[in-house]
Structure 1
Amino acid sequence: MMNKQNPQRRLFFSMMVLLLSLWMYYKASINLVDLKEYSETISIYSSTATIDETKIQKILQNNKTFSDSVDLVIWNEFEGESVTNPRLFRNETTGILIASGQINLLFGEDVKLMEMDKEGGVISKGLAEKLFGDTRVVGKEFMYQQKTYSVRQVLTNVKENLVVIRPQINSDKRLNTITAMKPNSVISPNTLKSKLSNRYELNGELTEFNLLTGLLTLYLYIPLIYVTFDMLRLGNVIIEDFDYTKQEYLPMQGLLKVFLWALVIGVWSYFLNRNNSISSDYIPSQWSDFDFFMRLGSEKIEALKDFVRMPKRYFEMCYLNYTRQVLIYNFLAIQFLKWSFKLQRSVQKKTAIKLIK
């Protein structure tokens, strides 16, 4: 048990806790940077599926003719569908993802399914084991809606049951989501959405990650402010509160102050340098537009609701995973900083009592 009468030991322990909190904060910041890499896509989602095969081909063909074309995929996922292995008489319930365009935007690996391949399908590793009893099933056949498909690839990083196929001619399945990769970080999500909607007469709400990313960035300011005051408080504890006549202090007080200030400036500079991008969608075109932020709030609340409702694929799941890590690491950073504060206050009280005696 720590000796409560030893301020130097408690001070050393508070410094260790402070370093631990800085490490937690660093991890949260790194995860925020990684998170932003998965926020380079936007989705135009409609709860009513209206995109048929004819419109799909029109969108894809027209997209190739534009000089500023974007990488995009048109898709929908249907849950609770049934697929069959006719040879083994096995039947499994699975999700069916029907997609046209660059399917790679939905997964973390290269999907080997040609655009015009209506006879092939890609299945997840888990479904392959259940349906065929093995994962080496490329070339084997399964049936969906009385049509036979040949397995082109097994997705190794998809855990749930899933089949990926291309849209079929005369099918009653309609698609409801367009996911597009932003061509650069300058163009805003609303601008890209407007461009796609105008070109292809799309209906649906914009589902993008800028709002949540912005809120997480603000959340990371909390421990940053704690860190600033904590390091300055630590400097006061070390430099001012010890009895120098008994040499109960660290030497070179002036250099220590410079070091602490440099550390504070370094942390702030690092954070602002990596998290300073603000979309133009969040800045009113006219400062006299006082209702701008009310409208923006309503739009983003609806966008978040759509994000909850829409099916999630690789980019969305990675984004949610990094969001969870940012929340956890940042929460731990705040708790460790509070603990460090508490220890430093106890050092100040004990040292004051000692000096009085």
Structure 2
Amino acid sequence: MNRRQKALKHFPVILGFFLIIGFSFNLIWLEELKQFSPYVQLIIKNEGSQLDGKRANDLLAENEQLDKQFSFVVWGKKNDELVSVKELNTEVKTDVLALQGNSQLLFPKTPGLHGENTTECLVSSSLANKLFGNTTVKSLSIVYNNRKYQVLSVIPSDRSFFVYESKSEAVTGLDRLTILSGNQVNKNLLKQEFSERFSLDSQLLDYDIFRLLLGVINGLLLLHFLGFFIWLSIRSEKRKEGLTRRLFSMAGVTCSLVLFILLTENFSITSEYLPTQASDFDFVKVLLDRMATSAELFLESGKYASERQIMMYVLSIAVMTFSLFLVSFIYPVLVFLAETWTEADEWEVQLLEIRKPWRNRVMSLFLER
């Protein structure tokens, strides 16, 4: 074993630990993304179709008359709005979310804003600190658009935002609807049903499609790792390497299988993401178009606090997956290069051995002269 091969000896061990740690984080992050699966997000891009506070309130009243009611909230976001505390003579520019409906669909761990009481608000801990210097601000007053609002609850967040409920026609630009749908509901069909029922021109923002893509890529990558460790095991057997190396290769195979089983058990795909028949090639195009539309809508639309976590989870999984993919290819490449260099070294030694008698002969003739 030459020095290059010795340098590669411990690389599979490092790769094995990186595999376990990397995929463990990916499984956790995929599970976190699952919390957004029960919701359907609709976006009204056409400004002429966007709702005001009164129309949103009428929408909720219409919903109450239905036999099969929807649980939803209509909302919109404005940036750099001015809020103030008169008593402390402080004012801050912040994001403002105006809404009508079930506010707990957006902020599930806080008390809900009540439709009949439009004098209460929710604030982030970041905004509370900027206005009051602390987060113990329940029942204190904040002024927005010359109206006083009492703080109902503080939402832990490092972003500054203010949330209130309004039925006023003056509150415009409500371009988002968040609907509670359940985990196994066809989101596209629900979007069509909701839009037709309330005559809304909206587009579907599908978070689940990102989770689906990343989950499938991680599954394929685990199969790649399984093949890698099987190749490592066969290679160790052929080269009569030590027992430790062979046991490690088998441990890698076992580990890859266990992680793959955990992924498949905790990862479900609804029928809307599966083709109806094997020859349905247009389905892939439809799915890719839906993914592209969702990505565009996600980047363009205003976001509430929890939605920003989606971006963090998606980026984290993508970076970790790419890193695992890259590292898994480094080792076979290095092994190939090390073996190529070894053959080159051996060829050079043989060449020197062939040239040695001729060199000695030339030297002896030179010395004789």
Residue in structure 1 matched with residue 18 of structure 2 by the alignment: 20
- Please point out which of 17, 36, 39 is paired with 1:38: 36
Q: 1:148-297, aligned counterparts within 5 Å? A: 148-157=148-157, 159-183=158-182, 185-242=183-240, 249-250=242-243, 262-275=254-267, 277-283=268-274, 291-297=282-288
Deviation at 1:118, TM superposition (A): 1.2
Are 1:309 and 2:268 an aligned pair?
Answer: no
Cα distance 1:283–1:12, how it changes in 2: closer, same or farther (>3 A)? closer
CA shift at 1:322, angstroms? 1.1
**Separation of aligned partners in 2, 1:215 and 1:44:** 21
1:115-146 per-position Cα deviation (integer Å, ceiling 9, x unaligned): 22211222222222222333322222222222
How far did 1:152 drift? 2.1
More moved, 319-328 vs 264-273: 264-273
Q: Which residue of 2 aligns with 1:123?
A: 123
The residue type paired with residue 304 of structure 1 is: A
Structure 1 pair 87/289, CA: closer, same or farther in 2 (3 Å)? same
Alignment partner, residue 140 of structure 1: 140
Q: CA RMSD in A?
A: 3.4
Residues 264/149 of structure 1: CA separation in 2 closer, same or farther (3 Å cut):
closer
Contact between 1:46 and 1:176, CA under 8 Å: does it hold in 2?
yes
Larger mean CA deviation between 97-106 and 4-13 belongs to 4-13
The residue number in structure 2 matching 1:330 is 321
Q: Which has the higher helix share?
A: 2
Which amino acid is 2:242 matched to?
Answer: Y
Match of 2:364 in 1: none
Amino acid at match of 1:327: A
Query: Retained in 1: the 8 A contact 2:54–2:167?
Result: no
Q: Which moved more, 1:340-349 or 1:23-32?
A: 340-349
Distance 1:267 1:124 in 2: 38
Distance 1:328 1:33 in 2: 17
Q: How many residues align?
A: 344
Question: Residues 44-123 of structure 1: matches in 2 within 5 Å?
Answer: 44-47=42-45, 48=47, 50-64=50-64, 66=66, 68-107=68-107, 109-123=109-123
CA change 1:11–1:70 in 2 (3 A) is: farther
TM-score (norm 2): 0.79
TM-score, length-scaled by structure 1: 0.81
**Residues in 1 aligned to 2:78 and 2:55: alpha-carbon distance in whole angstroms:** 19
Q: Which has the higher contact order (CA 8 A, sep 6+)?
A: 1
Cα pair 1:116 1:166 within 8 Å, conserved: no
How far is the alpha carbon of 1:194 from its aligned partner? Answer: 1.6
Change (3 A) 1:27 1:4: farther
Q: Indicate conservation of the 8 Å contact 1:208/1:303, yes or no.
A: yes
Q: Retained in 1: the 8 A contact 2:5–2:335?
A: no
Q: Distance in 2 between matches of 1:256 and 1:144?
A: 64
Taking a change above 3 Å as real, the CA distance of residues 347 and 307 of structure 1, as seen in their structure-2 partners, is same
Deviation at 1:72, TM superposition (A): 1.7
CA distance in 2, matches of 1:11, 1:66: 69
> SS at 1:11's partner residue?
coil
Q: 1:122 to 1:26 in 2, by over 3 A?
A: closer
| 1:62 Cα offset (Å) | 4.2
Amino acid at match of 1:273: E
The offset of 1:305, in angstroms, is 1.4
Secondary structure in 2 matching 1:237: helix
| Unmatched segments (≥5 aa) in structure 2 | 347-369
Shift of 1:74: 1.0
* Greater C-alpha radius of gyration: 2
